[in-house]
Chain A
Amino acid sequence: MAEDDVKIVMFCCNWCSYGGADTAGTSRMQYPPNIRVIRVMCSGRIEPQFVLKAFREGADGVIVAGCHHGDCHYDAGNYKLDRRMRLVYKLAEDMGIGKERIYHDWISASEGEKFADTVKMMVTRIKELGSAPLKEQLDAEA
């Protein structure tokens, strides 16, 4: 698929990853414009429902980013997210979405470069995989 068509939803926690996006922006790092960032207060707030809803609405991939282990503003939200995401990968595999379409990582507020690299990596990966079939399949049936 063409790179312009890649649609990725990215969930960022307020304290680290969103700050990371800010850092990438203020230091003028280049990264592809295919992501839609959604800010949440803590990565521990991100539910599997959010990830699945993104696919249902037509996303081709989802990135979830939170603070590094030990850095969570609320002590341990990112640890809970970590466990949750392992189950989401398994579910995505079982439902034929493919776990490669989902990615979670830790990005601190100073890691603007890691933010840009993560986005670049995901866009390349999704470009190779092609568009996610869910919305297409459901639309075709309707």
Chain B
Amino acid sequence: MVEKAKIGTMWLGGCSGCHLSIADFHESLLDVMELADFEFSPVLMDTKYDEVPELDVLIVEGGIRNEENRELAEELREKANFVISYGTCAAYGGIPGLGNLHTVEELEKEAYINSPSTPNEEGIIPNEDVPALESRVRPLNEAIDVDLVVPGCPPRSDVVAEAVIALLKGETVELPTTNLCDVCPREKPPEGLAMDVIKRQFEIGKPEDDLCLIPQGLICMGPATISLCGAECPSIAIQCRGCYGPTSKVMDQGAKMISAIASDYGIEEDKTIDPEQVADQLDDIVGTFYTYTLPAALIPAKMQKGGK
């Protein structure tokens, strides 16, 4: 019998949701198990950090939020032949990355003192036995070398199963380079995208069937998002929030989308529309456009001291 490959999985600054998508491999789990065994997985089995076996493939979920994350990432990198940065947190920082808008002191105060569900009359901020937070959230590839990035929040099980099986068979895995609109079933207006108002989902109720969401006033991140998910959300009338991150051709997903929305907005009355109008309708620029990718953006964290 051929020796099976050893797979390890690890969680860092994430929510373990990506592990659920591994657990949800369903029938393709049988195909994976034929080629490999799970040898190390703190989420799914009892493991010791000082007894990590040599691994062929390591799947890492979550970004680098605290010192422990970094230490474990470095330690496991030495044990593993091939590291997959798995899920949006590992790839781009993910939702925890919005913490980069605040300093570590602000975050700790909010979590341990201001939070109404945390009785802490003496106002103690724990600093023993708790790993210290790093100055900001970073994607995994800023701490260790990564061999493959599979984004998603969480990545679709079938996509990942396919990637893992291909890898185990020694094939190369390639991510698509097209954006979501390329695979989206909704119809784009033939005269081009144009929007004249920006609304939130609850304000428009049920969007029109089969018509692209952007002309209907929703900020759909599809134009700046990789087509890996197969446009699941837009096909059921929910706007894309960009959870799979940008394609490899784009440096900064949020900035790319800002560019797209600003151009589409009022394009039919280009010369008469008040240029301030589109900015006025968007209150939370970072929260809208950088929900998942702030730590990997060109400006990855809020500059302190008011930019001075």
Contact = CB atoms under 8 A, between A and B. Distances in A.
Interface stretch (B24-32, B165-173, B263-271): B263-271
Contact of A90 (B279, B298, B303, B305): B279
A87 B302 contact: no
A69 interface: yes
Interface string B245-277: 000001110111011011101110011010111
A80 B262 CA distance: 7
Interface in A61-111: 69-70, 76, 79-80, 82-84, 86-91, 94-98, 101
Interface string A20-53: 0000000000000000000000001001110011
A134 B259 contact: no
B204 interface: no
A137 to B, nearest CB: 6
B306 interface: yes
A43 to B, nearest CB: 12
A52 B255 contact: yes
Interface stretch (A2-10, A11-19, A116-124, A125-133): A125-133
A86 B298 contact: no
B298 A49 contact: yes
Contact of A84 (B250, B262, B266, B302): B262
B308 interface: yes
Contact of A130 (B251, B300, B308): B308
A55 interface: yes
Given A56-B298, A89-B279, A48 B306 contact: no
A141 interface: yes
Nearest to A70: B271
Given A90-B285, A91-B286, A97 B279 contact: no
Contacts of A97: 299, 303, 307
B307 A76 contact: no
Main secondary structure of the interface of A (DSSP, over half): helix
Contacts of A87: 258, 261-262, 278-279, 282, 285
B263 A49 contact: no
Given A48-B259, A55-B298, A96 B306 contact: yes
Contact of A56 (B275, B285, B299): B299
Nearest to A57: B298
Given A53-B251, A83-B266, A87-B279, A133 B258 contact: no
Of listed B101, B265, B277, B299, residue having the most chain A CB within 10 A: B299
Contact of B276 (A52, A80, A86, A132): A86
Nearest to B275: A82
B127 interface: no
A49 B293 CA distance: 14
B259 A84 contact: yes
A86 B271 CA distance: 16
Contacts of B251: 49, 53
15 contacts: A49-B250, A52-B255, A76-B270, A83-B262, A83-B275, A84-B259, A84-B262, A86-B276, A87-B282, A88-B258, A91-B285, A96-B305, A133-B304, A137-B301, A138-B300
Interface of B: 101, 135-136, 250-252, 254-256, 258-259, 261-263, 265-267, 270-271, 273, 275-279, 282, 285-286, 289, 297-308
Given A87-B285, A96-B303, 9 more contacts: A79-B275, A87-B279, A90-B282, A90-B285, A94-B285, A96-B305, A97-B299, A129-B307, A134-B303
Interface of A: 44, 47-49, 52-53, 55-56, 69-70, 76, 79-80, 82-84, 86-91, 94-98, 101, 129-130, 132-134, 137-138, 141
Closest 5 CB pairs of A and B: A96-B303, A98-B307, A84-B262, A86-B279, A48-B255
